[in-house]
Structure 1
Amino acid sequence: MTDQDLCFRSAVDLAKDIRNGEISPVEVIENALARIDEVNPKLNGFCFVYAEEAIEKAHLAESEVQSGNSIGPLHGVPFAIKDFTPTAGKRTTMGSKIFEHWIPDQNPPVVERLLQAGGIMIGKTTTPEFAHSSFTDSPLWGPTRNPWNFSCTAGGSSGGSAVAVATGCVPIAEGSDAGGSIRIPAALSGTVGLKPSVGRIPMGILPTAFDSIFHFGPLSRTVSDAALFLNVTQGPDNRDIMSLPPTVPLHIPVPNHVDGLRLALCPDQGFFALDDDVEANTRSSADALRQTGAIVEEVELGWSRQIVDDWFLHWAVFFAAYFEQYLNDWQDQMTPEVVRMIEVGQSVKATDFKRLEAARTRQWETLRPILDSYDALLTATMALPAPPVGGKDSDYDSNDAAGRYQGLDMTCTLNFVSQCPAVSVPSGFTVGGLPTGLQIVGRRYDEATVLRVAATLEAIQPWAGLRPPV
């Protein structure tokens, strides 16, 4: 039987209690493993669990505390890594039968830094094939289910990490985000998901060192845990030429006041057809921030679904460039949506691909004056609550009778202005009991402000104590 209160304790508090000798890292890890045993058969959030190794490392962590040795900010705290991210000596399948038995020989900077901070990697979490989708469902591991309603998806592509956090298996988990893959499952599963500014956390895992839409970031239950993850993992690394210089560490706990901040509100980004509960919760979250001292004003972004279509072409070309080599031998065992994207990408002319930069520039030119006048932008994270398991992204790609875009995620638009950080935080629940998310978008490289707004909302309408029925 697991200790539920321990399961849902934050990383900040666990690290403090371990450091002060108030709790043993062995107890923490054993409890986390017991929790995984409880929930994973129902939800399928973990594809690999390193029980013996984690317990061994917990005993070592306990000895270091008892010896009075210098310890890191995550000493003894369990964390999970998405199965898209290479891990030295541990299978990394990327949800694909092509890589079913791949064992990388080195860790990327994000994994290195979590381990160097004293964290204990307890397992790897599920992802759709090559992290391609808003639905975590792969040929290798099958679907990952939503902890609030098992018939619904947990979102993707970091769906396993969201489940691991939402159910109290770990307080923090790593995700990656090229179109919303951190923020989507965070919103659908009722957790916090941060896409930092591009380059804030070095990548170092892609075939190209010059990508402009990929991000590593945390999923967590609290805003301060997301800040702790960022403090530990941010900073330059020569394996990623796009990585940013070090920045001042975020204050923990994250300040939770917004007096005097100017916040722009555009719930639908100007063109999405929003679910009624999603819109109501987005507006009520904005009202809550207004009542605590922020100036919140509704604005028009001037965006259209063309941004989503342009992002999809960019994504399709990425897939064609780096995965088309597998089609001849593996097509029958690949996810049909992945094959479709590769084929679309193969058809894009180089000149049309280059013109996407001009489209991104026009998009930025409409967002720039808003962020010149406001400290952050508020939108919904998802247009809909969690859809049923078994769906695919192309099911949500049409216009309604009024010309509104009936899409699912409202996140990929922000990967096209990737220097702007964006965090998804819980905004409430639908009438049917599914979580919804508010997306807070900041000025370039300003994670501190988006997390400050998020922490304020967390203080006003706390969500960390809400536990899914599993």
Structure 2
Amino acid sequence: MSDSAFDWLSAAELSKLLARGEVSPVDIVDAMLKRASTLQPHLNALVFLDTDGAQAAAKAAESRWHKGQPLSPFDGIPTTIKDTTNVKGWPTRYGSHATDETPAKDSAAVTDRFLAAGMILLGKSTTPEFGWKALTDSPLQGTTRNPWNLAYSPGGSSGGASALTAAGVNPFNHGNDGGGSIRIPAAHTGLVGLKPSYGRIPQYPADAPFADVISQGVLARSVLDTAMALNLTAGPDPRDWRSLPAEARDYTIGLDAGVRGWKIGLSLDLGHVKADPEVRELVAAAARRFEDLGAHVEEVGPMFGPLQEHFEPLWIGSFATRFRQIPTQLHAKLDPGLRALMEKGLAITLADYAKAFEARSKLARDLALWHRNYDLLLAPVTPTAGPPVETLYNSDAFPRWTRGAPYTLPCNLTGQPAASMPAGLTKAGLPVGLQIIGAPRADATVLQAMRAYESASGWTWPQPRVLEALKAV
């Protein structure tokens, strides 16, 4: 496919061009709408494009820039919203026939923050049904594909967002992470993916299943864009009583301060996870970059035991709550794997839930105490590179607890910040992610480490293998 001048620019780079009057939001949006439309039949990353709305918003942003009154540095820069998340006037379908086209009455808190900054919503990105798995296919919207290789999954559940970002449609896209759903697709597509501390970006509505483990964020191609997006979206909201207090902080300040003298732990298995040998090798090599940057990196012993026994009740019990809300006549239209979990979850008792919450508290306490001696924990993001699109999630061949999200889920349970950074490519040419985990609420520390690693890794966009995969499109 033909490229435009905007395809691989970061939001920070576009912002500078807008400030100098060298480009117009109208031109940027038109180019990104065109690329999104061209790629959609191949990637299937979008639920829909709001062409008219995006073009009208671009004209309004253009007027603000001409007057010297932009709403933020990102005024006029496009993004998308994951289709688990409300945009006023748009339906929220969750990839499910159990939903309908009723427009949302109001927007999610994170959507409001993007709109207040003048960002332009191109449309909604795909998700597995109700965000249930770390792959992105759904009964309603079909299969989303990885721009590195269309035969493979971009991960999930923010797979539409990762595919759009890695394909050069626009600089970053909204995602959320309740078990790895930002970090896993970032790892599978070579992106930067930060799961901020729980509550750093407010949640509204905040009454859905998993609301107490989900963090909002973006999938980006640069750490600077990630930090700038956090500036736009962080801060409390009275509609979310769990949101963290306001901080007088600009997350871009101190990004380049480095990690010299830091003490960093490395665990390739967390004590129980068996990653593919190729993944272990790439992550171990990536971790050594921190030593080159002046940090002390040491392998640490087992962190904690397998998660399934203690935490499956939270997962399947929450899905059972959703199942009870779906009319019986629609059950046959659910993703079979999701329906099986929902039905299993009906047997979860209050005692099961209570034991799981007790175990969660212990895990959070143990990791917080561990971080008293270490600035960061490094680990893989996933045990494998992106699997083929036909992979059955939570099957015997790809169990959730050992192949899907064993490295990422702990940080959702504890609420601490964690990120994925590109660790390199497998022999098959698929990306692998290095996970950078910080102490509770240490988002700035994680961002600083991400930027130090980025500066040393040599990873740049566009990636040749992506260009090759998209050449015929």
TM-score range, shorter chain: over 0.9
For the residue of structure 2 that corresponds to 1:186, the secondary structure is helix
Q: CA deviation at 1:123?
A: 1.2
CA offset digits 1:143-171 (Å, max 9, x no partner): 10111111111111100000111111111
Q: 1:51-450, aligned counterparts within 5 Å?
A: 51-208=51-208, 211-247=211-247, 248-251=249-252, 254-255=255-256, 257-305=258-306, 307-395=307-395, 406-409=402-405, 410-418=407-415, 420-450=416-446
Q: CA deviation at 1:327?
A: 4.9
CA–CA separation in structure 2 for the residues paired with 1:217 and 1:268: 26
- Count of aligned positions: 463
For the residue of structure 1 that corresponds to 2:377, the secondary structure is strand
CA–CA separation in structure 2 for the residues paired with 1:252 and 1:187: 26
**Equivalent residues of 2:44, 2:143 under 8 A apart:** yes
CA–CA separation in structure 1 for the residues paired with 2:8 and 2:2: 11
Aligned with 1:460 (options 440, 456, 459): 456
Structure 2 length as normaliser, TM-score?
0.94
Structure 2 residue aligned with 1:402: none
Letter paired with 1:258: V
- Cα distance change, pair 465–210 in 1 and its aligned pair in 2 (3 A): closer
- Cα distance change, pair 34–325 in 1 and its aligned pair in 2 (3 A): same
For the residue of structure 2 that corresponds to 1:94, the secondary structure is coil
CA offset digits 1:70-122 (Å, max 9, x no partner): 43121110001001101101122110112131310110110011011010001
Q: CA deviation at 1:325?
A: 2.3
Q: CA deviation at 1:443?
A: 0.7
Runs (5+) with no aligned partner, structure 2: none
**Equivalent residues of 1:176, 1:182 under 8 A apart:** yes
Answer yes or no: is 1:43 the counterpart of 2:43.
Answer: yes
CA–CA separation in structure 1 for the residues paired with 2:283 and 2:220: 20
Deviates more, 1:407-416 or 1:205-214: 205-214
CA offset digits 1:247-299 (Å, max 9, x no partner): 21212583261111111100221111111121111111111111111111111
**Equivalent residues of 2:310, 2:355 under 8 A apart:** no
For the residue of structure 2 that corresponds to 1:284, the secondary structure is helix
- Cα distance change, pair 90–452 in 1 and its aligned pair in 2 (3 A): same
**Equivalent residues of 1:154, 1:162 under 8 A apart:** yes
CA–CA separation in structure 1 for the residues paired with 2:53 and 2:364: 47
CA–CA separation in structure 1 for the residues paired with 2:56 and 2:281: 48
CA–CA separation in structure 2 for the residues paired with 1:70 and 1:427: 37
Answer yes or no: is 1:16 the counterpart of 2:13.
Answer: no
Q: CA deviation at 1:320?
A: 1.1
**Equivalent residues of 1:133, 1:392 under 8 A apart:** no
**Equivalent residues of 1:3, 1:31 under 8 A apart:** no
Q: CA deviation at 1:4?
A: 4.4
- Cα distance change, pair 132–461 in 1 and its aligned pair in 2 (3 A): same
- Cα distance change, pair 125–252 in 1 and its aligned pair in 2 (3 A): farther
Identity %: 35
Cα root mean square deviation, aligned:
1.8
Letter paired with 2:155: G
**Equivalent residues of 1:134, 1:392 under 8 A apart:** no
Q: CA deviation at 1:209?
A: 9.6
Q: CA deviation at 1:423?
A: 0.6
Q: CA deviation at 1:408?
A: 2.8
CA–CA separation in structure 1 for the residues paired with 2:252 and 2:41: 38
**Equivalent residues of 1:191, 1:425 under 8 A apart:** yes
- Cα distance change, pair 408–209 in 1 and its aligned pair in 2 (3 A): closer
**Equivalent residues of 2:82, 2:124 under 8 A apart:** yes
Letter paired with 2:299: E
For the residue of structure 2 that corresponds to 1:98, the secondary structure is coil
Runs (5+) with no aligned partner, structure 1: 400-404
CA–CA separation in structure 1 for the residues paired with 2:329 and 2:188: 35
Deviates more, 1:227-236 or 1:254-263: 254-263
**Equivalent residues of 1:301, 1:367 under 8 A apart:** no
Letter paired with 2:390: G
Deviates more, 1:248-257 or 1:182-191: 248-257
Letter paired with 2:132: H
Letter paired with 1:179: G
CA–CA separation in structure 2 for the residues paired with 1:376 and 1:466: 29
CA–CA separation in structure 2 for the residues paired with 1:41 and 1:309: 41
**Equivalent residues of 2:187, 2:422 under 8 A apart:** yes
**Equivalent residues of 2:209, 2:318 under 8 A apart:** no
Letter paired with 2:323: F
CA–CA separation in structure 2 for the residues paired with 1:167 and 1:210: 30
CA–CA separation in structure 1 for the residues paired with 2:396 and 2:379: 19
- Cα distance change, pair 67–365 in 1 and its aligned pair in 2 (3 A): closer
Letter paired with 2:414: V
CA–CA separation in structure 1 for the residues paired with 2:324 and 2:117: 38
CA–CA separation in structure 1 for the residues paired with 2:159 and 2:198: 21
Structure 2 residue aligned with 1:25: 25
CA–CA separation in structure 2 for the residues paired with 1:129 and 1:168: 25
Q: CA deviation at 1:398?
A: 7.9
Deviates more, 1:63-72 or 1:222-231: 63-72
CA–CA separation in structure 2 for the residues paired with 1:302 and 1:292: 25
Q: CA deviation at 1:57?
A: 1.4
**Equivalent residues of 1:227, 1:252 under 8 A apart:** no
